[in-house]
Structure 1
Amino acid sequence: MTVAHAPAALEADTVGAPVLAVENLTVGYRVGRGYRPVVQGVSFELPPGQVLALVGESGSGKTTTAHAILGLLPDNGAVIGGRIMFRDRVITGLSPKGWRDIRGRAVSLIPQDPGLSLDPVRRVGPQVEDVLLLHTDLDADARRRRVHELFELVGFTDVDHRYRQYPHELSGGMRQRVLIAAAVAAQPDLIIADEPTSALDATVQKQVLDLIDDLRGRSGTSVVLVTHDLGVAADRSDLLAVMRDGQLVEFGSTKQIVAQPQHEYTRRLLDAVPTRSIRARTRAAVAEAGETVIEITELRKEYGGAAAVDGISLRVRGGETFSLVGESGSGKTTTARVIAGLTEATSGQVTLLGADVTGLGRKGFRPLRREVQIVYQNPYSSFDPRFDVYDVVDEPLRSFQPRRGLRRVRRPNAERVVAALEAAALPADFIDRHPGELSGGQRQRVAIARALILEPKVLILDEPISALDVSVAAQILDLLRGLQEERGLTYLFISHDLAVVRAISDRVAVMRRGRIVEQGPVDDVFTRPVDDYTISLLDAIAGRTLPGGLS
């Protein structure tokens, strides 16, 4: 495969010798007595002070490449070809002592999941001090003062209090800030940021990325940003390296690539970004003409005396997509669970398909269960691991059919299960597979098939694409649009991603701390927001620099 090289404006003699040079890198994992290559022939350079975004879908090899750069491949992985240069030093095959000398001091990592990267039984301040203990000559008092300075640098107030807190006492964004403080503690020349914001809400993601940009601007540190989010890559990087199936298919200036991508795969990834796939026509007229399917009035749900949902009212009409948006803890999922009869309201009224379901409980709600189905964020966790796909999809049918006589017939509902799978764009032969054999997108399609098997009128979609690669997410959104047009389904769509919400919704309600701060037709809310919180959410949408992105 021919690999594109950086444009002339980015050559080393123009902007300085590269901080990082990856030359024909091949990485493999041990299989028997040999190695199976998973990254092949990757080459790129990163000049000082710039950000290189390493992008691609799951399995593309981007994280393996990053781990090879850091010397963090698992025991069964190895660099089997090419070399990696840091400054003027070959770091491929360094000894453990050699890695200890540079990792954390000259090259550092901001990992994806702070929940797994921080010791839960130690205070966060001393954990950042560990970097200084390893790589500086500072005494204990000086190390503590330096950590306080770092905590101020990453935006903490009351830094002495933060120093003494445990990870579980911090939000996800705060924990990520702690990891950034640790990553910059020894003033490294290169930071590898591995999906540093993938688990964060949009506004927190923006804050963290702004922080990385600010720190880079102050210190001149170079950054490799590993991400599957083309919007983030377009907004935040100078150079773009696009990976697919372990190979680098395109490399160069980010601005040039997003404006004129040369490789078909890059074009496909860019086309799948939700900011570029906004509905071509409004369905507001359809929504206004529909009968009321869901109506909630002054809904309140308390846990331990605290209100998770605090007196909200909304109306969803038949055939429309009504989205609830907001950050974690805003109350949107709790609202959906009350509507679905999975938890009881503390007060207020819920009407579903003309029936007052307030206070019915799960047993009383059962007659309406056929009409309202849920598709969850992580379908795998809602599948019985003993079931094959037939059993998974058939499960709702079994719960509503008399058991007598069915045990004598193997797969009595096979035709209906196959029809549901085909409606979810899966072939009939998937009926024999197990969920563990499927990709994330295929599992989500199975979850949609399971939700369709009872022919419901309402689907509650709780973050149904947030765990999926961008192109797979686009396919699921297209599937949902098609099913809605074909079957007249009503969707209650829950998301923290406003780009996705604009792509699929007719109307939207913005939630914050259990209250609705703004609601209306999606175009009105997006183009003429009234509430400051809505404005902050819209400002946090990534991908604005993409051609056709949100303006």
Structure 2
Amino acid sequence: MEDLSVGYQLGHSTKTAVRNISFELEPGQVLALVGESGSGKSTIGHAILGLLPANGRLLGGSVRFRGRTISDLPGGQLRELRGRAISLIPQDPTVSLDPVRRVGPQVEDVLRLHTGLDSEARRKRVHELFALVGFDDVERRSRQFPHELSGGMRQRVLIAAAVAAEPDVIVADEPTSGLDATVQAQVLDLIDDLRRRGGTSVVLITHDLGVAADRSDLVGVVRDGRLAELAPTGVFVQNPRDEYSRHLLDNVPSRLSFTRDRGTGTAPGDPGPAVEVRHLSKHYGGHAAVDDISFTVARGQTFSIVGESGSGKSTTARILTGLTRATAGRVSLLGTEVGTLDTKAFRPLRRDVQIVFQNPYASFDPRFDVLSVVEEPLRSFQPAGSARRRRQENRDRVVAALEAASLPASFLHRHPRELSGGQRQRVAIARALVLEPKVVVLDEPISALDVSVQAQILELLVGLQSELGLTYVFISHDLAVVRAISDRVAVMRRGGIVEQGETAQVFESPASPYTAQLLGAIAGRRLAIR
């Protein structure tokens, strides 16, 4: 890539998103592009493949692949390269898979287009790929539709499709953001194996500096569309030249510590816990998504649930927030038994129990601007009063919630499609907090955020907890984050809880071999020695 500049047509003007980017990547090398959401990382990756959106324009510079300029190739010639020579692992699996087709045939499409394998060999290869990315029962998985898989499982399908034809270059845009530590290590090992065996080069776009440090040869720090620093990974970790690079490294979750007031588990007039779960199960057909789990969350504390994709974490979150009915067991929220409540009966609790979803884009009405998205809970519980005064009060509260989530008021009239993944997640957090609830269930709330914004959001969540006495059920695959903010933690596997206890005890002396395996797969070994 030489002096590449990219802009987006917005109305009658062009906004430059990437300016004068240059780098060279040798066969078998890995370049990690890191930086905050909206910095231009994904634009660089999409420019390599000629996959800029309709309003995207190359303003200057070039992209060359094996000595051939490909940045000005017609669409048909570029399509011949994609999948076979250069492939993409996209950031958002929800919008990248066909919702009405089974996932096995979608991966098989790559093999049909770019290999000479017959149908039986293609099916066998799909099963091999599914096993490589960590699926068990690969025959059943290949017959499932995207909506039947967790977010992390859908991401694994995309990775299988990207590596199917063993391409020369992989552009991996946040390829492991929805995966637990063990599957993340397994997938990155697969990409490393391709790199070693076939000289596959990788452009790894990530906000996870631990992954970047452990898995790359070069690190490029992108800020405001420019390369603030480009250096060998060891140099970047040990002696970063740029002040912004040092800022990113200082905000790695494993280096964060938070001082906060811990909840006591009691409240005046109501000594019960905020959340109490007893023998909870959820079955889909003959499959137990959640299998006889029990836990208690004290008021004002943070209870984290960790485990691999598909272990039942998100299903548990949906049951707690009344979005899914349990098959068996008991759930108590703020002293109210909710297991038997229908949607109408559960509604009054929604002011006090809010959720931040894993995929913010899928949880927004695409017709709404940011003001309408964040204001929606306020309108649902609007007290009586003049419409004009309510509108102004709502706007003020929305602005305050956005600013608390590190977004300026200038975002009020943007639409979700105009925001980066990290910006959408911050809007989702603002929407959950705007009602000042008592319990917040956070389902992978910072998985799409770069480390500096992660630190801001975690500091925000901890501060609000101390100030307002909030209780958090925090679901995450990022064990470093869990360790930084949690009072207690539960480890789930295949629907059950294999271990739970005080966070320090679980992390320092795990009783379960599976927990030890999870902890051993945490990325960031090179960062730890800095």
When normalised by structure 1's length, the TM-score is: 0.78
Kindly provide the amino acid, as one letter, of the partner of residue 290 in structure 2.
V
Q: Give the equivalent residue in structure 1 for 2:388.
A: 410
CA distance, structure 2, for counterparts of residue 338 and residue 175 of structure 1: 26
1:282–1:506: 8 Å Cα contact kept in structure 2? Answer: no
CA distance, structure 2, for counterparts of residue 248 and residue 88 of structure 1: 23
Cα distance per residue 1:340-367 (max 9 Å; x no partner): 3444443333333334444233444455
1:62–1:226: 8 Å Cα contact kept in structure 2? Answer: yes
- Based on CA coordinates, which of the two structures has the bigger radius of gyration? 1
CA distance, structure 1, for counterparts of residue 11 and residue 371 of structure 2: 35
Is 1:207 aligned with 2:207?
Answer: no
Kindly provide the amino acid, as one letter, of the partner of residue 456 in structure 1.
P
Shift in CA distance, 73/524, structure 1 to aligned 2, threshold 3 Å = same
Q: Give the equivalent residue in structure 2 for 1:50.
A: 29
2:83–2:165: 8 Å Cα contact kept in structure 1? Answer: yes
Select the residue among 108, 111, 117 that pairs with 1:129.
111
Kindly provide the amino acid, as one letter, of the partner of residue 129 in structure 1.
L
Is 1:313 aligned with 2:272?
Answer: no
Is 1:82 aligned with 2:66?
Answer: no
Shift in CA distance, 536/411, structure 1 to aligned 2, threshold 3 Å = farther
1:53-68 aligned at under 5 Å gives the runs 53-68=32-47
Q: Give the equivalent residue in structure 1 for 2:520.
A: 539
CA distance, structure 2, for counterparts of residue 534 and residue 340 of structure 1: 27
Select the residue among 300, 306, 330 that pairs with 2:281.
300
Cα distance per residue 1:213-270 (max 9 Å; x no partner): 0121122332222223322211110111111222111001011112222212222222
Is 1:360 aligned with 2:341?
Answer: yes
CA distance, structure 1, for counterparts of residue 156 and residue 503 of structure 2: 31
1:379-418 aligned at under 5 Å gives the runs 382=363, 396=377, 399-400=380-381, 403=384, 406=385, 408-412=386-390, 414-415=392-393, 418=396
1:96-495 aligned at under 5 Å gives the runs 99=78, 106-112=85-91, 120=101, 123=105, 126-133=108-115, 152=128, 155=131, 171-172=153-154, 175-184=157-166, 188-279=167-258, 286-287=263-264, 291=271, 292-304=273-285, 306-366=287-347, 368-378=349-359, 382=363, 396=377, 399-400=380-381, 403=384, 406=385, 408-412=386-390, 414-415=392-393, 418=396, 421-422=399-400, 425-426=403-404, 430=409, 433-434=412-413, 436=415, 439=419, 447-448=428-429, 450-452=431-433, 454-495=435-476
Cα distance per residue 1:49-72 (max 9 Å; x no partner): 221112233332233323333344
1:129–1:147: 8 Å Cα contact kept in structure 2? Answer: no
Shift in CA distance, 387/90, structure 1 to aligned 2, threshold 3 Å = closer
Q: Give the equivalent residue in structure 1 for 2:484.
A: 503
Shift in CA distance, 391/26, structure 1 to aligned 2, threshold 3 Å = closer
Shift in CA distance, 476/325, structure 1 to aligned 2, threshold 3 Å = same
1:311 positional shift: 1.6
**What is the DSSP-based 3-state SS (H/G/I as helix, E as strand, rest coil) of the residue aligned with 2:490?**
strand
Q: Give the equivalent residue in structure 2 for 1:18.
A: none
Alignment gaps of 5+ in structure 1: 1-21
1:323–1:493: 8 Å Cα contact kept in structure 2? Answer: yes
CA distance, structure 1, for counterparts of residue 517 and residue 156 of structure 2: 19
Kindly provide the amino acid, as one letter, of the partner of residue 230 in structure 1.
L
CA distance, structure 2, for counterparts of residue 443 and residue 153 of structure 1: 32
CA distance, structure 2, for counterparts of residue 65 and residue 386 of structure 1: 28
Shift in CA distance, 417/493, structure 1 to aligned 2, threshold 3 Å = farther
**What is the DSSP-based 3-state SS (H/G/I as helix, E as strand, rest coil) of the residue aligned with 1:25?**
strand
Q: Give the equivalent residue in structure 2 for 1:513.
A: 494
CA distance, structure 1, for counterparts of residue 411 and residue 72 of structure 2: 45
Kindly provide the amino acid, as one letter, of the partner of residue 482 in structure 2.
V
CA distance, structure 2, for counterparts of residue 424 and residue 96 of structure 1: 40
2:159–2:175: 8 Å Cα contact kept in structure 1? Answer: no
Deviates more, 1:501-510 or 1:87-96: 87-96
Kindly provide the amino acid, as one letter, of the partner of residue 253 in structure 1.
P
Cα distance per residue 1:367-402 (max 9 Å; x no partner): 544433333345565556676767665655555566
1:475 positional shift: 1.4
**What is the DSSP-based 3-state SS (H/G/I as helix, E as strand, rest coil) of the residue aligned with 1:542?**
coil
Kindly provide the amino acid, as one letter, of the partner of residue 532 in structure 1.
P
Deviates more, 1:434-443 or 1:498-507: 434-443
**What is the DSSP-based 3-state SS (H/G/I as helix, E as strand, rest coil) of the residue aligned with 1:295?**
strand
1:128–1:147: 8 Å Cα contact kept in structure 2? Answer: no
Shift in CA distance, 363/539, structure 1 to aligned 2, threshold 3 Å = same
Shift in CA distance, 316/264, structure 1 to aligned 2, threshold 3 Å = same
CA distance, structure 2, for counterparts of residue 172 and residue 400 of structure 1: 35
CA distance, structure 1, for counterparts of residue 353 and residue 106 of structure 2: 44
1:519 positional shift: 0.6
Kindly provide the amino acid, as one letter, of the partner of residue 214 in structure 2.
D
Shift in CA distance, 424/430, structure 1 to aligned 2, threshold 3 Å = closer
Shift in CA distance, 312/67, structure 1 to aligned 2, threshold 3 Å = closer
Deviates more, 1:393-402 or 1:233-242: 393-402
Alignment gaps of 5+ in structure 2: none
Shift in CA distance, 113/34, structure 1 to aligned 2, threshold 3 Å = closer
Kindly provide the amino acid, as one letter, of the partner of residue 480 in structure 2.
A
CA distance, structure 2, for counterparts of residue 447 and residue 98 of structure 1: 40
CA distance, structure 2, for counterparts of residue 356 and residue 70 of structure 1: 53
**What is the DSSP-based 3-state SS (H/G/I as helix, E as strand, rest coil) of the residue aligned with 1:461?**
strand
Shift in CA distance, 480/56, structure 1 to aligned 2, threshold 3 Å = same
Quick one: percent identity of the two aligned structures? 58
Shift in CA distance, 242/317, structure 1 to aligned 2, threshold 3 Å = same
Kindly provide the amino acid, as one letter, of the partner of residue 511 in structure 1.
M
When normalised by structure 2's length, the TM-score is: 0.80
CA distance, structure 2, for counterparts of residue 230 and residue 30 of structure 1: 32
Deviates more, 1:64-73 or 1:238-247: 64-73
Deviates more, 1:213-222 or 1:431-440: 431-440
1:124–1:165: 8 Å Cα contact kept in structure 2? Answer: no
Kindly provide the amino acid, as one letter, of the partner of residue 255 in structure 2.
R
CA distance, structure 2, for counterparts of residue 107 and residue 520 of structure 1: 46
CA RMSD of aligned residues (A): 4.1
1:454 positional shift: 4.8
Deviates more, 1:113-122 or 1:290-299: 113-122
Cα distance per residue 1:156-205 (max 9 Å; x no partner): 59999699868759853652353244341xxx543333333334444322
Deviates more, 1:307-316 or 1:210-219: 307-316
1:288 positional shift: 6.8
Cα distance per residue 1:71-130 (max 9 Å; x no partner): 444565454433334344444434557646755555444444567667747835752433
Q: Give the equivalent residue in structure 2 for 1:5.
A: none
